[in-house]
Amino acid sequence: MTAPKCTVGDLALFGGAPTFGEILHVGRPNLGDRARLMTRIDDILDRRWLTNDGRYVQELEGELQRRLGVKHCIATCNATIGLELAVRALELRGEVIVPSLTFVATAHVLQWQGITPVFCDVSPHTLTLDPERVEELVSPRTTGILAVHLWGRPADVDALVEIAERRRLGLLFDAAHAFACTTRRRMIGGFGDAEVFSFHATKFFNTFEGGAIATNDDGLARTLRLMRNFGFSDYDSVVSLGTNAKMSEVAAAMGLTGLESLDDFIAVNRRNYDAYRHGLEGVPGVEVLGYDEKEENNYQYVVLEIDREIAGIGRDDVMKVLWAENVRARRYFYPGCHRMEPYRSIRPGDGERLPVTERVLDRVLTLPTGTALGYDEVLRTCELIRFVVGHGSEIHRRLDRTGGAR
């Protein structure tokens, strides 16, 4: 692959035209068959049953249970509320161990309920919770572990289950990125006490906005269903505290339609991922994070790790150029939960015990993918990154002179 035949001055950041006329986004929604979706929506309107555990929500839950190989799947209005329900249903309190390398909602669901999120470092190999560090952080106030399957890369399930059982802790998995992924040849969804998926519009499989809690625990599932609907056990019988966490029928219809195209979505993601890996092979200081080829994955995230010392240009400068060229790459999950409010004010020194997290947060960059992205656009993005790294020193100096962020 050859670099674009241009000079640094041709870059949009320095006065040239953007490489792409249309903006390329991370997380642009995948859409299934519109005709099938509209047929379902017409049926919903004809039935005049728009929410409250209707036909399509029940059908979606059944399909998800089958695909995930779990006994129960409780659809929710979003994954954040799903996590909140699971945390409350397990009666977690005190302290819960959680990574800082995650979307801030993972920590917020704990803090929101008066639970202290104790940030734990991640393994340099998996970038998910490091079980050895987890063990060190367990205290008399610890009641649970909330692990994250980051970018579809599974957490160390076996080690975390062993710690949770031995220490008698609740164990939840934030599986927002991990729908249709496996670990140990089993679909993610049935590990720990429960796993929570996100079906937000930015996920490769979406229900417009939504989520689901998967569990094999019959009692926990009953509690979650009560909590999801204000604690109603029957038409006019409230037997517990609850909230409104229900998924709408239209959202479920979108989900059922998306499931019919799921293999196509994954195939496009895999094609793009392979094209990025090939296109960026050999670029100094730039590594495309890999996936375990023995396992299934949704390939939703194409994640670069950029080593400034080798590449000659830092992650932030690369991102600044890409944005100017209409490639909206993202710094997931910069700057880290521990550096966000309210956590940085509550415990300003947390970063000192998160060395791997700190390093990763300053190096990773996710690239656009999905069905809205053409194969040629992937190749041109690779050419652009090659060019930027190849002229890193000059771009860095120009950004310095113009006050550009690094």
Tokens of 106: 């993972």
Q: Which amino acid is at 375?
A: Y
Tokens of 367: 């690239």
Same domain? For 245 and 324 the reply is: no
> How many CB atoms sit inside 10 A of residue 366's CB?
20
d(CA 382, CA 243): 47
> What is the model's pLDDT at position 404?
59
Containing H/E element for 148? strand 142-148
- 230 and 272 assigned to the same domain: no
Count helices and strands (H / E) in the chain: 15, 16
Write down the pLDDT at residue 276.
98
Please write the tens of the pLDDT for every residue from 344-390. 999 999 999 999 999 999 999 999 999 999 999 999 999 999 999 99
Of 228, 198, 196, 199, residue with least CA distance to 215: 196
Last residue of a domain, one of 260, 294, 316: 260
Say yes or no: 278 and 150 in one domain: no
- Of 323, 107, 70, the residue nearest 221 (C-alpha): 70
Is 106 a domain residue?
A: yes
Q: Which of 8, 290, 64 is nearest to 180 (CA)?
A: 64
Whether 12 and 51 share a structural domain: no
Residues 290 and 239 in one domain: no
> 239-249: per-residue pLDDT in tens?
999 999 999 99
- What are the pLDDT digits (tens) for 20-74? 989 999 989 999 999 999 999 999 999 999 999 999 999 999 999 999 999 999 9
Considering the domain architecture, whether residues 161 and 219 belong to the same structural domain is answered as yes
Query: Does 54 share its domain with 80?
Result: yes
Exposure string of 225-258, with b = 16+ CB inside 10 Å and e = fewer, is: bbbbbeebeeeeeeeeebeebbbbbbbbbbbbbb
What is the average pLDDT across 155-163?
98
The pLDDT, as a whole number, for residue 218 is 98
267: which residues sit within 8 A by CB, 6+ positions away?
A: none
Each residue of 25-35: pLDDT tens digit? 998 999 999 99
Mean predicted lDDT score pLDDT of the chain:
95
Model pTM score: 0.95
Lowest mean pLDDT among 22-26, 245-249, 255-259, 296-300: 22-26
* Domain at 375, CATH number: 3.90.1150.10
Q: Which residues form the domain of 282?
A: 8-28+261-329+368-402
Confidence of residue 403 (pLDDT cuts 50, 70, 90): low
Domain boundary among 245, 260, 275: 260
